[in-house]
Amino acid sequence: LRSVVRLNKAALSYSALAALLAFLSLALIHLAVLRRYNLREKFEIKRQSEQQLMEAHNKLEQRVVDRTRDLSEANRVLELEISERRRAEQNLQETQKELIHAAKLATLGQLASGISHELNQPLAAIRNYAENALQFLQMSQLKQTDQNLEQILKLAERMSNITAHLKTFSHKTDDQKGPTDVNQCIHNALALMKPRFRESATRISLELMDQAQVLANPIRLEQVFINLFSNALDAMAEMPEKEIIVRQTSTENTIVTTIIDSGSGIDPDRLPHIFDAFYTTKSVGVGLGLGLSISSEIIQSLGGKLRAANHDSRGARFEVELNKTP
């Protein structure tokens, strides 16, 4: 009986062990299946993530390509606009230069009759001196001959100065600025205007500084003074007494040249428009209204200012302010 009991216990132990082993086997199989499923799920998620990342990368690259193309096109259009604007500015500058030169030639045209008189007088005198010198030479009066020849040389030099000045003034000039003697420009302008001053019996009063060096273009500055003097003469045309005062003052960095006439002044309503192109207070057919406009542009291009106002006691006052030479 004991043997039977012992065998039964052993059989039960083996059965329990077999059942345990079977359970463990099933558990391991289940874990293996779960692990495989989890791995497959992770691989699928990874594959989908990589695919999504690749699609996002491709979209980003396409957007970069599209954006680069758009920027390149925008840059091309911008460069074209800049180029066209530069050409337009260059054409405008050339037009302004031509306009200034045309106004200069128009001024010379207005002065032509007076300048012609200035040349005819010494020419007539030269002829007389030459005829007298020939007669003195025939009479062997060498001293008188020399005196007449000296007068001829002086008159020829005077004519040479006039023509040289005309040639310099009429010549096209660039926009280069440099040290400029304002007083010399004023005297040159007065020399060209001298016939008109004499014809109109205009008195000129100069109150100039000893030294007036500014940064400017001498030919352009001379043109401005001629325009202002001519404008002053027109403004005084009906006045019984005509006088132009040219006065200079200085600040720390600038020199101001003021031109005052004895005319009737400028209508206050017209003062704000005095430098507008084609704006004129003169009669129809007298001037185009460009003189003051061009003068203002010239002074601005030289880094200065041109101002207009009515003088305290009489007439109009124009101020030309330019920077001193460094």
Is 165 part of a structural domain of the chain? no
Contact indicator for 224, 321 with CB cutoff of 8 Å: no
Is 127 part of a structural domain of the chain? no
Query: pLDDT tens digit string along 91-102?
Result: 776 776 666 666
Is 52 part of a structural domain of the chain? no
* pLDDT tier at 286, thresholds 50, 70, 90: very low
pLDDT at 143 over 70: yes
Q: Quick one: pLDDT at residue 284?
A: 40
pLDDT at 1 over 60: no
Amino acid identity, position 24 = L
Q: Quick one: pLDDT at residue 285?
A: 40
Give the DSSP H/E element, type plus range, for residue 151: helix 142-170
Which residue range is the domain that position 251 belongs to?
Answer: 174-326
Q: Is 142 left (phi over 0), alpha (psi -120 to 50) or beta?
A: alpha
Is 135 part of a structural domain of the chain? no
How far is Cα 161 from Cα 158, in angstroms, rounded to an integer? Answer: 5
Strand ranges in 78-184 using DSSP code E only, listed in sequence order = 178-181
Is 285 part of a structural domain of the chain? yes
Is 60 part of a structural domain of the chain? no
pLDDT at 52 over 60: yes
pTM of the model: 0.58
Amino acid identity, position 127 = R
Amino acid identity, position 35 = R
| CATH number of the domain where residue 213 is located | 3.30.565.10
Contact indicator for 222, 237 with CB cutoff of 8 Å: no
Q: Cα dihedral sign for 236, 295, 173, 101?
A: negative
Is 143 part of a structural domain of the chain? no
Please report the DSSP string for 14-65 in residue order: HHHHHHHHHHHHHHHHHHHHHHHHHHHHHHHHHHHHHHHHHHHHHHHHHHHH
Query: pLDDT tens digit string along 184-231?
Result: 999 988 888 888 888 889 999 999 998 899 999 888 898 889 889 988
Is 301 part of a structural domain of the chain? yes
Q: Quick one: pLDDT at residue 12?
A: 63
Which residues in 265-279 are b (16+ Cβ under 10 Å) and which e?
bbeeeeeeebbeeee
Q: Quick one: pLDDT at residue 277?
A: 60
How many domains does the structure of the chain reveal?
1
- Is 289 exposed, middle or buried, given 0-12, 13-18 or 19+ CB atoms closer than 10 A? middle
